Homo-oligomer: A and B are copies of this chain.
Amino acid sequence: MCVDKNVGRSSCKIIYNNQIAEGVYEIVFESASISSLAQPGQFVNLYSSIGSRLLPRPISICEVNTKEQWVKLVYAVVGDGTKEFSMLGKGQTIDVLGPVGNGYEVEACETSILVGGGVGTPPLLELAKRIEGKKLIYLGFRTGSYLVEEFKKYGEVQVATDDGSEGHHGTVITLMNQNNADGQRIYACGPKPMLKALQQWAGERNIRAQLSLEERMGCGFGACVGCVCKIKAKNELGYTYKKVCKDGPVFDAKEVLF
């Protein structure tokens, strides 16, 4: 079955919700519409069921299965909202809206480089599945790792950790340099410092890079103009504000002003 319409905020049944690393959870829920509409790099809004916490928690889509109609997300517990989600279990429901956002533009090329940092790695999984050609996958973590085995199905995976607990001791960027990583397209998601470094890295090599940004959101579907980032523009200021939730979260690295 294929659903061609984003059905808005609705209650989805949880298939499972497990811890996969210290403070990191993988949640899988049923959704015909999201699983059939989702594009890599898009996200969903999760909502708290506690009346005092109103705003959406945007979480990137990690993987979907259109046939079995499920959606997988991976999220870190960083505050009250994600903590609440982590306590949900199989059979319970969660309010979800999506898919939202402008995902990665998947371009065919010989070698694609995928770079993820921390909870920025999950959205690259569905992407890795869908890109054709050779894929060099660089995953960075503070400590430990997750999803690495899944990624290995789709490409050559290299891991870097800040504390050296796994793979290369250092950042993904130093690892990429060390490996003389080379390709025609870069797809990245992760913390701002990583994206900034990648912007430079790609710029120096003149490789097209697509970066997925984060910002605090009011609505998560383009209505409030609350989630803006600076995008280069030909005006006096040299930039304009674009919505991360609607114009992004994925932007061309050349456009982004950090």
Chain A positions within 8 Å of B, measured between CB atoms, are 49-53
Contacts and interface: CB of A to CB of B under 8 A. Distances in A.
Given A49-B50, A50-B50, A50-B51, 5 more contacts: A50-B52, A51-B51, A51-B52, A51-B53, A52-B52
8 contacts: A49-B50, A50-B50, A50-B51, A50-B52, A51-B51, A51-B52, A51-B53, A52-B52
Question: Which 5 A-B pairs give the minimum distances between C-beta atoms?
Answer: A51-B52, A50-B51, A52-B52, A51-B51, A50-B50
A91 to B, nearest CB: 13
Pick the most buried of A49, A51, A52: most chain B CB atoms within 10 A of its CB. A51
A50 B50 CA distance: 5
Contacts of A52: 50-52
Q: How many copies does the complex hold?
A: 2
Contacts of A51: 50-53
Nearest to A53: B51
Contacts of A50: 49-52
A52 B50 CA distance: 7
A80 to B, nearest CB: 10
A49 B49 CA distance: 10
A50 B53 CA distance: 10
A107 B53 CA distance: 50
A59 B53 CA distance: 27
A49 B52 CA distance: 10
A234 to B, nearest CB: 47
A160 to B, nearest CB: 40
Nearest to A48: B51
A203 to B, nearest CB: 46
Contacts of A53: 51
Nearest to A50: B51
A226 to B, nearest CB: 22
Nearest to A49: B50
A49 B53 CA distance: 13
Contacts of A49: 50
Nearest to A52: B51
A52 B52 CA distance: 5
A81 to B, nearest CB: 12
